[in-house]
C-alpha cells in the first residue's frame, strides 16, 4: 500500500474534489428534507386558502343566480 506522501501534489486535487463534492451532496440532501417539510406545510395552507376561496365564489355565484332570476321575472 503506498504512503500518502508518495502521491504527487497534483494527484491530491481530484481526490480532495471528490471528497468535498461528497460532503456537499450529503449536506444538500439533508437540507433538502427540511425544505420538503416546509413545502408540504405551505401546500396544506395553500389548499385551505383555495377551499375558502372556492366556498366564497360559490356563495357569490348563488347570489348572482338569484339576481338573474329576479331580473328575468320582471316583465
pLDDT tens digits for range 19-63: 999 998 888 877 766 667 788 899 999 999 999 999 999 999 999
68 found inside a domain: yes
> What is the rounded distance in angstroms from the CA atom of residue 73 to the CA atom of residue 75?
6
> 65 or 39: whose pLDDT is higher?
65
Structure confidence at residue 4 (pLDDT): 60
Domain of residue 59 covers 37-75
> What pTM was estimated for this model as a whole?
0.48
41 found inside a domain: yes
> What is the rounded distance in angstroms from the CA atom of residue 17 to the CA atom of residue 23?
10
Task: Give the mean pLDDT of 58-69.
Answer: 94
23 found inside a domain: no
Amino acid at each position: 500500500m503506498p504512503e500518502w506522501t508518495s502521491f504527487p501534489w497534483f494527484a491530491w486535487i481530484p481526490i480532495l474534489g471528490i471528497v468535498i463534492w461528497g460532503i456537499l451532496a450529503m449536506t444538500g440532501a439533508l437540507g433538502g428534507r427540511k425544505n420538503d417539510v416546509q413545502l408540504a406545510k405551505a401546500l396544506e395552507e395553500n389548499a385551505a386558502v383555495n377551499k375558502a376561496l372556492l366556498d366564497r365564489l360559490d356563495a357569490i355565484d348563488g347570489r348572482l343566480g338569484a339576481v338573474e332570476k329576479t331580473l328575468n321575472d320582471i316583465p
